[in-house]
Chains A and B, each alone.
Chain A
Amino acid sequence: MSQPLLGITGLSKRYPNGTQALDSVGLRVGAGELVALLGPNGSGKSTLLRCAVRLVEPDSGSVRVADTELIGLRGTALRRARTRVALIFQQARLVRRRSALDNVAAGALAHHPGPRTALGWLPPGERARAAALLARVGASEVAGQRADTLSGGQAQRTAIARALAQRPAVLLADEPVANLDPEAAAATMALLRELAHTERLAVLCVLHQPALALEFADRVVLLNRGRVVLDQACSDTDPATLASTG
């Protein structure tokens, strides 16, 4: 792999209760690649993603996005670096009382740090871009709807559009299909794969369903007790190896 867009090296995290959530974890995701991250409950998958964007502070290690090291950054530099890494959560986490369009446009706030956005204003250019992004993810029909009226699949697509509004290089998805029915889950995974391949994003996606991983991902990484125990192309992976990781 040429220079990866996402490079994690030696990442470790021990929680105050003594749990070693991550133990010197390393993995790389290149541009245009969709990597599925699997593992049993408590293996450190969500902690890995949250450490990558510094929502949780790792104890040691390195997280590089393109040529920027995220560990050690503070204030404005950290906020700027975070724009390059978009995080999609299991719950869509939309502002319920705002429209889907406004939620998507809010994803670009970091690019407009002035006083007007601090007072609740959204740049018209970003609203227009948000409409285009909603169309891109196949959710343009819900642009004007309040977020709390959206179905699970519509909400997750809106969350993906919000992530794209950040102009990221890397997309981290933490169990994005956990609350979706099989049809919506497959559609969402297909969208993530398409975004990875056409937008040349590096996508790291936490999943509990090995079948989805093998169907949509380029590579699979298996975590167990905070350590990487498998990292290989899906085409080289025996489904039976992943069968017990849900």
Chain B
Amino acid sequence: MSRAARHPAARALPRRLGRWLVVFVGLLVLGQALVVAEVDPSALVEGLGGVARLVADGLPPDPAALPSAGLAVLQTVDIALVATVVATLLAIPFGAIAARPRTGSRLLSAPIRAVAAFLRAIPDLVWALVFVAAVGLGPFAGVLALTVHSVGMLVRLFAESIEEMDSGPAEALLAAGATRVQVFSHAVLPELLPTMGSLALYRLEQNVRSSLVLGFVGAGGIGFQLLSAMEEFQYRQASMLLLVLFALITVFELGSARVRAALR
């Protein structure tokens, strides 16, 4: 009988040491993160007073901000809507080409995936800066920014959905001599329409949130009004706009969840 078999404690010791090592390394990593991120609880405590003053200065919310907020809200939603629809229409064929093996292309799958990864790696706010420089201030820059970022996300999600679906019906049509495009439109798309619809709706929800802040960099929407109110110390106006934002996001979240549940 081996030494380890005779002494169970000897077997357990390396395992316990390993666990403590993992905890120690984890604490080291967290510690360096707190230092590099300059986490300072005392600054937070000192700042709480300022936050309280800000909240007090913003009450009560100013209803006079509502009329101009209405148009900005519409613009915010429309930026997100156009971007999501265009991105979805582009992502369907590119997602199909990127998906391996049944609808995808051996040659094009990897390059498309790489481009999609690049598009979604850049935050949409950064894309907004790029397009503001390219096409000027205004909502169109916001539409372009959200479209590009959304294409990157949806291509990956659509491709993964195609790869994970039951391949049986697609394989049956391939065996019957159908082309890959026919397989996609007659087997893959009908099966995945609810899933793709759900993903697109969720993307719309994300885009509405993103669209709120695109105005900070001049790409349209209610973000510009909010930024202006804060810079001009119009805190009651700002708090009214925040209430409007809260209502908008809540309505979108609830509506999107219901529609996605119905699609399942």
Contacts and interface: CB of A to CB of B under 8 A. Distances in A.
Given A83-B177, A109-B178, A98 B190 contact: yes
Given A82-B176, A166-B176, A106 B186 contact: yes
A95 B187 contact: yes
Contact of B179 (A118, A122, A159, A162): A118
A16 interface: no
A83 B173 CA distance: 10
B189 interface: yes
B165 to A, nearest CB: 10
A53 B173 CA distance: 12
Nearest to A79: B177
Nearest to B169: A95
A86 interface: yes
A55 interface: yes
B172 A109 contact: no
Contacts of A97: 190-191, 193-194
Contacts of A117: 182, 185-186
Interface string A86-124: 110101011111100000001101100100011110100
B173 A106 contact: yes
B191 A96 contact: yes
Interface string A67-93: 000000000000111110011010101
Contacts of B177: 79-83, 109-110, 166
B59 interface: no
A80 B9 CA distance: 70
A168 to B, nearest CB: 9
B178 A106 contact: yes
Interface in B145-176: 168-169, 171-176
B130 interface: no
B251 interface: no
Nearest to B167: A93
B181 interface: yes
Contacts of B169: 93-96
B181 A118 contact: yes
Contacts of A106: 173, 176, 178, 186-187
Contact of A93 (B168, B182, B185, B190): B168
Interface residues of A, number: 31
A120 B189 contact: yes
B181 A53 contact: no
A79 B194 CA distance: 30
Contact of B175 (A55, A98, A120): A55
B176 A109 contact: yes
A109 B169 CA distance: 14
Nearest to A165: B176
Contacts of A82: 175-177
Contacts of A93: 168-169, 171-172
A79 B181 CA distance: 13
A163 B175 CA distance: 10
Nearest to A121: B185
Given A82-B177, A93-B168, A95-B169, A109 B190 contact: no
B92 to A, nearest CB: 12
Nearest to B187: A95
A120 B190 CA distance: 9
B97 to A, nearest CB: 14
Nearest to B181: A118
A97 B190 CA distance: 6
Which of B176, B178, B191 has the largest number of chain A CB atoms within 10 A?
B176
A79 B168 contact: no
Interface string B177-203: 111011001110111011000000000
Nearest to A163: B176
A95 B171 contact: no
A152 to B, nearest CB: 14
B186 A110 contact: no
Contacts of B185: 117-120
A87 B176 CA distance: 7
Contacts of B187: 95, 106
Interface of B: 168-169, 171-179, 181-182, 185-187, 189-191, 193-194
10 contacts: A82-B176, A91-B168, A93-B171, A95-B190, A97-B193, A106-B176, A106-B186, A106-B187, A109-B173, A109-B186
Given A55-B174, A117-B186, 6 more contacts: A79-B179, A87-B176, A97-B193, A106-B178, A118-B185, A120-B189
